[in-house]
Structure 1
Amino acid sequence: MNSVIKGRVWRFGDNIDTDIIIPGRYLRTFSLDELASHVMEGIDPEFASKVRKGDIIVAGRNFGCGSSREQAPVALKHAGVSAIIAESFARIFYRNAINIGLPVIMADVDAEDGDEIRADLREGVIENITRQKKYRMKPFNDYMLSILEDGGLVKHYLRTLGVSEEDEG
């Protein structure tokens, strides 16, 4: 993963809870494709068919509130979402997202559906290319970037131990 993320925006408001992200009735599946096919169904039933690899969610306050279901960030990442920018996140959602290698960025960004966003995680700059506006964010430190680059905390830990994915089973 590069420290620069660029993608098309999907705009959502405040208090997007985990039941909106992935409704509870789909939590019995172990299929990532099945989970991703229902992502954001609670607010936009067509989202899963419209989202493309590399797209970015921009939201308001308290993104990922509600239950601590780990499937919420997993479904977003598997659907192709490359990052989430929000004014604030529920703590457990934030941790779950980082743990699976999905960048979550705290910033108040003016953006609408379809805008093009570029976020430099190392430099701490977000640019809405469409609206020609720049925003500051707290830069990610090298440790956090290495977790994201490795694809999440478990993969990062295994890499630091010198264990390849083939070795694990």
Structure 2
Amino acid sequence: MAGEIVSTITGSGIPLRGNDIDTDRIIPARFLKCVTFDGIGEHAFEDDIKGLAEKGEVHPFVDERFANGAILVANKNFGCGSSREHAPQSLKRWGVEAIVAESYSEIFYGNCVSLAMPCFTADHDTCARLQDIIESEPASELRIDVAEAAIQAGEETIQLEIQAGAQGQFLDGSWDARAGLLENLKGVKQVASKLPYVSNYA
């Protein structure tokens, strides 16, 4: 009952420039009240989008050139701030299938893994190069090979990095912790039966 295998991600890109883009910018706190994640994707970067619109500028997430983007390319310390899982959920439900950035918040990274959304890293120049490619040819298709940790942009293949543990989880489907628990439900019940605060709660 493992999750789906994530071996390749194909689609156009979204360039999101800037360091320290935190989870409150990805999904504002007022949307944390939702009891399900349904529809949360439409609120991704809502405040940033409004702020730029007031200045006559367009955020990449509402820029028609990147409307169907699946591969987000960001910069340093992406997903920092609070640990809200709503942030990766909003990106996933908006349509993001993979992220390339210089670095991530550790908790954000882990939350992305649990959604089968691979997070790759690359140095500043590589991320800037990918952002330039996307901006100059927004409709062009990008292809990420998870096993090779590489992204193909046109005739160019660019090497990326990914944590070995996460890479293995995507390739064997073990990223889905819930599926793993259900697959080993008998063992879970056996362990629970030995815990006094579960089996002998007074």
- With the shorter chain as reference, the TM-score category is 0.7 to 0.9
- Among 150, 160, 178, the alignment partner of 1:155 is 178
Counting only pairs closer than 5 Å after superposition, residues 1-169 of structure 1 correspond to structure 2 as 1-13=5-17, 14-44=19-49, 47=61, 51-52=67-68, 55-107=70-122, 108-109=126-127, 110-111=129-130, 112-113=134-135, 114=138, 115-129=140-154, 132-138=155-161, 141=164, 144-147=167-170, 150=173, 152-158=175-181, 160-161=183-184
Specify which structure has the bigger relative contact order, considering alpha-carbon pairs within 8 angstroms and separated by 6 or more residues.
Answer: 2
AA matched with 1:7: G
Contact 2:121/2:162 (<8 A) preserved? no
- String of CA shifts for 1:4-40, please: whole Å, max 9, x gaps: 1111111112221101110111110123233111012
AA matched with 2:149: G
Aligned partner of residue 72 in structure 2, secondary structure:
strand
Structure 2: 5+ residue stretches without partners: 51-58, 187-202
AA matched with 2:40: L
Aligned partner of residue 46 in structure 2, secondary structure:
coil
Structure 1: 5+ residue stretches without partners: 164-169
Q: Which has the higher helix share?
A: 2
Could you tell me the TM-score, scaled by structure 2's length? Answer: 0.67
Percent identical: 33
- Equivalent pairs, count: 160
Distance change in 2, residues 1:11/1:149 (3 Å): farther
Alpha-carbon distance in structure 1 between the residues aligned to 2:182 and 2:167: 14
Could you tell me the TM-score, scaled by structure 1's length? Answer: 0.79
Alpha-carbon distance in structure 2 between the residues aligned to 1:91 and 1:151: 19
- String of CA shifts for 1:27-85, please: whole Å, max 9, x gaps: 10123233111012233357369643x61110111110111111100111122211111
Choose 79-88 or 39-48, whichever is displaced more.
Answer: 39-48
Choose 136-145 or 101-110, whichever is displaced more.
Answer: 136-145
What's the offset of the Cα at 1:147?
A: 4.6
Choose 37-46 or 113-122, whichever is displaced more.
Answer: 37-46
Contact 1:99/1:153 (<8 A) preserved? yes
CA RMSD, Structure 1 to Structure 2 (Å): 2.8
